[in-house]
Amino acid sequence: MQSFLIRKTSRTMSRIDHLKQKAARYCAYRDRCTAEVEIKLLQLEATQPQLEEVIHWLKNEKYLDDARFAATFARSKFKSNKWGRNRIVMELKTRNIDPVQISQALKEINNEEYIKVLQSLAHKKIEQVKDDDPYIIKQKTAVYLQGKGFEPDLIWQVLEKQP
């Protein structure tokens, strides 16, 4: 009986209300950026005016906040994936996050913890490299760390301190 009521309610629901409901659920699952929500709405075949109205509604209802998304993204990618700032910036730029919001998000990363993670990753990589030449070991480690998104000047500072 209840499923009948839900189906009947969804039939009487307007297209824009349906899109708002879908988008709100999508955003409630985890923080999303505007670009991700736009893609989702386009997949749901929303027209441009509908898309704009739903995005505006989501922002007013606090379901969607690019600054909050950027901060959460920066924290989680650093802690979970051990990404450096360059990689985080690049990923946020691909999601069309405002540069001001990106710089605010990077403040979520503690500098001392950042250096410790960089040192730890460098040490582990040095142990893994199978070579006797210290120059090659440091070079391979630097390439790996740059791929993780760490800044070259910080990488070389850390590597110069390694035995």
Write down which residue in 43, 60, 77 finishes a domain.
60
Residues 98 and 147 reside in one and the same domain: no
- pLDDT at position 8, please? 44
Residues 56 and 80 reside in one and the same domain: no
42-46 long-range Cβ contacts below 8 angstroms, 24+ apart: 44/19, 46/19
Q: Where are the alpha helices (DSSP H) in the chain?
A: 2-12, 15-29, 34-43, 48-60, 66-81, 85-94, 99-106, 111-128, 134-147, 152-161
Question: What gap in Å lies between CA 162 and CA 86, rounded to an integer?
Answer: 23
Residues 9 and 53 reside in one and the same domain: yes
pLDDT at 12 over 60: no
Q: Exposure of 88 by Cβ count < 10 A (0-12 exposed, 13-18 middle, 19+ buried)? A: buried
pLDDT at 5 over 70: no
- Which of residues 151 and 9 earns the better pLDDT score? 151
AA identity, residue 51:
L
Residue-wise pLDDT tens digits, 34-78: 999 999 999 999 999 999 999 999 999 999 999 999 999 999 999
Residues 132 and 157 reside in one and the same domain: yes
pLDDT at 144 over 90: yes
Residue-wise pLDDT tens digits, 83-135: 999 999 999 999 999 999 999 999 999 999 999 999 999 999 999 999 889 89
As for how many domains the chain has, the answer is 3
Residues 131 and 146 reside in one and the same domain: yes
pLDDT at 156 over 70: yes
Which CA distances in Å does 35 have to 29, 120, 123? 16, 34, 37
The pLDDT confidence band at residue 162, using thresholds 50, 70 and 90, is confident
Domain of residue 82, residue span: 66-106
Output the pTM of the full model: 0.85
